[in-house]
Amino acid sequence: MSLEGIISIIIAVVFGAIGIPSFIVAISRKKYPKRMEFYVLDLVRIISPFVKQYDSIKLLHEGKETKNVSFIKGMCVSSGDEDILLEPKTHKGGMQVLLPAEYKWLEVHIQARSEGLYVSAEIDTDEPNILNISSELFKRDEVFTFDAYIEGEKNNRLRIKEIKINHRIEGAEKVEPRYVSVYGVESRKKTFRSLIYLYVATIVMMASSTFLMVYDQPVRYVDKNDTETIYTAAIMTPDTVSVSKGTDGVWPWNCERYSLDEFNSKFEINVKKRTVSYQILISMGVLFIVFALGTLGFAIYVRHRMNRDKKVVDMYNKITKMVSDKDNTNQPI
């Protein structure tokens, strides 16, 4: 295959890797113009059955001792092209956040919300593992956050994948909870930079190896009486040359020294050019392309995740700062 053909394949693969996901997203947004995103910003177990208990330290809820309690901070975003009605048509909320059957919501409090957004979060009286969320109108780009405490009957730790979101909103796709660390964006930036450095270093090493194999062939010598055996020579002093058998270089423990006259009389330059088979070059080229495309695809994916997580963190910081500034303004002087 020619170099132009290989370059064309690389360009086609790169544009396909970028364009296909964008096309899928566009189709999805057209099919589901109403879209909600649910993020878990923090999930930590406060009281664990595996931690030694002391009579002087207890966590009470309404006067009753709790044993397996977790804290969760959630954020919900209306990210579609149309506004969403979360107004309940029955006693159930417009959207439900479901915990496993062995868990229950203890306390839930809305913390921050977009200006003009009125949203409520109520624990279901019949099934305490269900949180009903409702709002008269959840407009596009509006956000709200909540803090909650959860108690489990068993010793298991609550996993984010065990949390389910239910709704019956026409034109809205299924909502899957996703974890985003508010404090982890910067660390992922460092990881991404390290990945780029590693990628560049590997590309340079592979290119250097290819160059050394194909083009950079140092001068070797042969015995005038035995032209099949290859020797490597190195000048030690102005009138002394060290010679080692083979092409691996001159080593102090495996060499012989000759004067210049002795060296010139015994050895001559090897004029046979070392050849690299076409199959080896093709194999190296294929490995290089696979590595480059694989690493590039992974870097695009990581960058996409970073940008998406950063957008979520920026929304959280903006909404919490807005609420904090509003509270400070309302405080009496």
**Sign of the torsion angle spanned by Cα atoms 252, 257, 260, 262:** negative
Does 3 have pLDDT greater than 50?
Answer: no
d(CA 249, CA 158): 61
Check residues 267 and 276 and name the one with the higher pLDDT. Answer: 267
Q: Of the ranges 83-92, 126-135, 319-328, which is most confident? A: 126-135
Residue 147 in this model has a pLDDT that exceeds 90: yes
Domain boundaries, the chain: 1-31, 35-179, 186-211+277-330, 218-269
Mean pLDDT, to the nearest integer, of 181-209? Answer: 71
Beta-bridged to residue 151, according to DSSP, are: 69, 104
Average pLDDT over residues 42-53: 74
Q: What percent of the chain has pLDDT over 90?
A: 18
Helix (H) or strand (E) holding 209: helix 185-214
Collapsed DSSP state (helix, strand, coil) of residue 304:
helix
- Comparing 156 with 282, the larger pLDDT belongs to 156
Q: Is the dihedral of CA 180, 185, 189, 191 positive or negative?
A: negative
The model's pLDDT over 15-33, given as tens digits with 9 standing for 90+, comes to 555 555 554 444 445 556 7
Per CATH, domain 35-179 is 2.40.50: no
Residue 44 backbone phi and psi in degrees, to 5: -135, 140
- pLDDT the model gives residue 223: 77
What does the pLDDT read at residue 317? 81
